[in-house]
Amino acid sequence: MSAAAGKIPHHIAIVMDGNGRWATKRFLPRVAGHKKGVDSLRACVRHCGDIGVKVLTVFAFSSENWNRPAEEVSGLMELLVMALAREVPQLQSEGVRIHFIGERAGLSEKVRAGLAQAEANTAHNTRLTFNICFNYGGRWDIAQAAAKLAARGEPITEQSLNGAMALAHVPDPDLLIRTGGEMRISNFVMWQAAYSELYFSDKLWPEFDAAAIDAAIADFGKRERRFGRTSAQVTSPAESSARRKKAA
Ligand code: FPP
């Protein structure tokens, strides 16, 4: 079944895990897995746009990834700059708007320039918002939002924090996918995933194709999202609100 026939999540967030293992299994350097991961990501962006997903947020480099071998870190930086130069014209024609989410101060001038250029070139697109989390951590986002409010002397409330987050331009993810068989959040969209439906796949990211995305979306379509309410309230909202009025 095509996912397009079911309920399509507005916002999908993905931890693209398993590139290293994909490469190691083939006796290739880890960076080769990340390169293959870019191919998967390109197909994923295209498929999400085609089936009507409006926001896609991916974890491309975490604040903790600096601890990886220097060769892998520089490989990922180079890959980002190259992938942007190569892919942005096509993304541009597909109506994709790119946003970088993360701490830019720690990145080289070349990487920062590449990010700024990709954002500027796609700024007017509206079909799919594509957030690339790079040098990002969920705790970093919460802390930077709090620091921003404190510097402005503004009170810290759920609402004000929400508005100061680096991901404030999009609604929270409906579906959070992690590939690669691990079942953890790993400091991704910590604040925004409060009510996301979680989906874990054993497939490694380079193997996660359009059919795998459709399977995740089909699974999402079967979930009952309650946002703290009871099942009865969700399935029959009119009836439960009438009952609530009666009881009041
Ligand atoms: C996790 O797999 C993946 C990453 C740390 C990088 C994700 C990056 C891409 C998919 C490529 C797109 C990147 C750019 C730069 C646009 P892992 O290396 O932790 O895999 P493992 O768990 O098998 O070791």
**Could you tell me what percent of the chain has a pLDDT over 70?**
93
| Alpha-carbon dihedral 144, 150, 155, 157, rounded to 10 degrees | 20
d(CA 77, CA 110): 9
pLDDT at residue 241 tops 80: no
Cα of 162 vs centre of ligand 1, distance in Å, is: 28
- The residue assigned the tokens 């089909």 is 218
pLDDT tens digits for range 5-33 = 579 999 999 999 999 999 999 999 999 99
| Average per-residue pLDDT for the chain | 93
Rounded alpha-carbon distances, angstroms, from residue 13 to 42, 70, 193 = 15, 27, 9
d(CA 95, CA 196): 26
pLDDT tens digits for range 133-164 = 999 999 999 999 999 999 999 999 999 999 99
Q: Is residue 2 part of a domain?
A: no
211-240: average pLDDT: 86
Range(s) of the domain holding residue 216: 7-247
Point out which residues pair with 140 in neighbouring strands. Answer: none
**Could you tell me what percent of the chain has a pLDDT over 90?**
87
| pTM as predicted | 0.92
Point out which residues pair with 197 in neighbouring strands. Answer: 175
Point out which residues pair with 131 in neighbouring strands. Answer: 57, 99
Q: Is residue 1 part of a domain?
A: no
Q: Is residue 202 part of a domain?
A: yes
pLDDT at residue 247 tops 60: no
The one-letter amino acid at 128: L
CATH number of the domain that residue 91 is part of: 3.40.1180.10
Cα of 160 vs centre of ligand 1, distance in Å, is: 32
Question: Ligand 1, from 17, 35, 41: best to mutate by most atoms within 8 Å of Cβ?
Answer: 17
Cα of 19 vs centre of ligand 1, distance in Å, is: 5
Q: Is residue 171 part of a domain?
A: yes
Atom 2 of ligand 1, residue of closest alpha carbon: 17
Atom 24 of ligand 1, residue of closest alpha carbon: 20
CA atoms within 13 A on the CB side of 239: 7
Task: Give the chain's domain count.
Answer: 1
Q: Note whether 47 and 210 are within 8 A (CB).
A: yes
What tokens appear for 220 in the block? Answer: 């999402």
pLDDT at residue 231 tops 90: no
